[in-house]
């Protein structure tokens, strides 16, 4: 799992441990369906209502409640297993299709379930629950008021257009994108990179076009919320400076004589 907010080291540890236990658990049982391709927009909470749960193998799933993305499931996560304890209180879906193995809850807690399987399931659920508690404590600190927007882009889609007004700062979560100035490629953007920041801060039009090379998932923050983020998390500025420095180095090696900023 991951969240749009800064997560604690304890959450990262619990998430890693949950993935390890999930891998052990699914190795003990046989899936009902393997490498199942599930279409974009499918609500996993409804899929799990028949006693199924899923091991996510490719893609990501957003957990939404009240229209807001609270967190994301990613590769290695078990989706829907919490339904064994209580009804899933939210929507679990993706704007892209995903690949997952489907399992039956009866293999974990049914009359014929092997004791070691039930024990492995309970151990996983205990760690998963601790991770969720840690995640909720982060969400309740008020940082969720920043309301970041999740944007998906297909290959070839223009994310930022050169010359347009600047009102959003982006962080690329998944995928790759190219930055072009006057049609000339001047840089590449990968996961965890911040882009679109300079024009927002300086109040100038976009000086580059950014185009998705592959399917991209990005976090977009409005200018006003971006300023609030910096005020709440000064260490964020250090990452932005690092990203800017990397961009400048890249430009110096790729484009001779280019003097204006990239993003």
pLDDT in tens, 206-255: 888 999 999 998 888 887 777 666 555 545 544 554 554 454 444 444 44
CB contact at 8 A, 48 and 54: yes
CB contact at 8 A, 50 and 107: no
Q: Is the pLDDT of residue 35 over 90?
A: yes
More confident residue, 179 or 227: 179
Query: pLDDT tens, 3-21?
Result: 766 667 888 888 899 999 9
CATH 2.60.120.10 domain locations along the chain = 9-143, 147-254
**Cα angle at 40 between 102 and 21, to 5 degrees?**
35
Average pLDDT score over residue span 54-72: 83
**Cα angle at 213 between 209 and 216, to 5 degrees?**
95
Residue 125 backbone class (left: φ over 0; alpha: ψ -120 to 50; beta: rest): alpha
Task: Give the β-pairing of 98-104 and 184-189.
Answer: unpaired
Q: Is the pLDDT of residue 155 over 70?
A: yes
Average pLDDT score over residue span 132-145: 60
Q: What is the pLDDT of residue 259?
A: 40
Please give the Cα distance from 5 to 147 (Å, whole number). Answer: 10
Q: What is the pLDDT of residue 251?
A: 46
Task: Give the β-pairing of 177-181 and 209-212.
Answer: antiparallel
Query: Cα 78 to the chain's mean position, in Å?
Result: 16
Residues 6+ apart with CB under 8 A from 146: 5, 221, 225, 228, 229, 232
- Fold entry, domain 9-143: Jelly Rolls (2.60.120)
More confident residue, 243 or 35: 35
- Fold entry, domain 147-254: Jelly Rolls (2.60.120)
Q: Is the pLDDT of residue 113 over 50?
A: yes
Q: What is the pLDDT of residue 256?
A: 40
φ, ψ dihedrals at 104, nearest 5°: -105, 135
More confident residue, 89 or 257: 89
Cα within 13 Å of Cα(215), Cβ side: 7
Residue tagged 């799992």 (tokens): 1
Q: Could you say which DSSP state residue 2 is in?
A: B
């Amino acid at each position: 799992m991951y969240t749009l907010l800064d997560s604690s080291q304890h959450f990262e540890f619990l998430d890693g441990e949950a993935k390890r236990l999930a891998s052990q658990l699914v190795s003990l049982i046989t899936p009902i369906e393997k490498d199942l391709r599930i279409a974009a927009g499918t609500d996993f909470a409804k899929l799990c209502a028949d006693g199924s749960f899923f091991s996510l193998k490719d893609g990501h799933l957003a957990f939404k409640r009240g229209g807001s993305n609270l967190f994301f499931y990613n590769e290695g996560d078990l989706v829907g297993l919490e339904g064994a304890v209580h009804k899933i209180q939210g929507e679990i879906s993706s704007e892209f299709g995903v690949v997952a193995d489907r399992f039956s809850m009866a293999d974990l807690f049914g009359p014929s379930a092997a004791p070691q399987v039930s024990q492995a399931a309970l151990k996983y659920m205990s760690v998963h629950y601790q991770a969720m508690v840690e995640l909720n404590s982060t969400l309740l600190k008020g940082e969720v008021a920043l309301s970041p927007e999740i944007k998906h882009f297909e290959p070839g889609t223009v994310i930022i257009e050169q010359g347009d007004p600047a009102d959003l700062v982006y962080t690329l979560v998944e995928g790759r994108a190219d930055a072009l100035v006057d049609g000339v490629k001047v840089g590449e953007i990968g996961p965890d990179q911040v882009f679109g920041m300079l024009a927002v801060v300086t109040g100038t039009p976009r000086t580059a076009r950014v185009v998705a090379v592959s399917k991209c998932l990005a976090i977009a923050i409005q200018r006003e919320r971006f300023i609030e983020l910096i005020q709440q998390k000064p260490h964020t500025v250090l990452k932005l400076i690092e990203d800017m420095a990397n961009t400048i180095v890249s430009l110096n090696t790729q484009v001779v004589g280019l003097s204006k900023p990239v993003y």
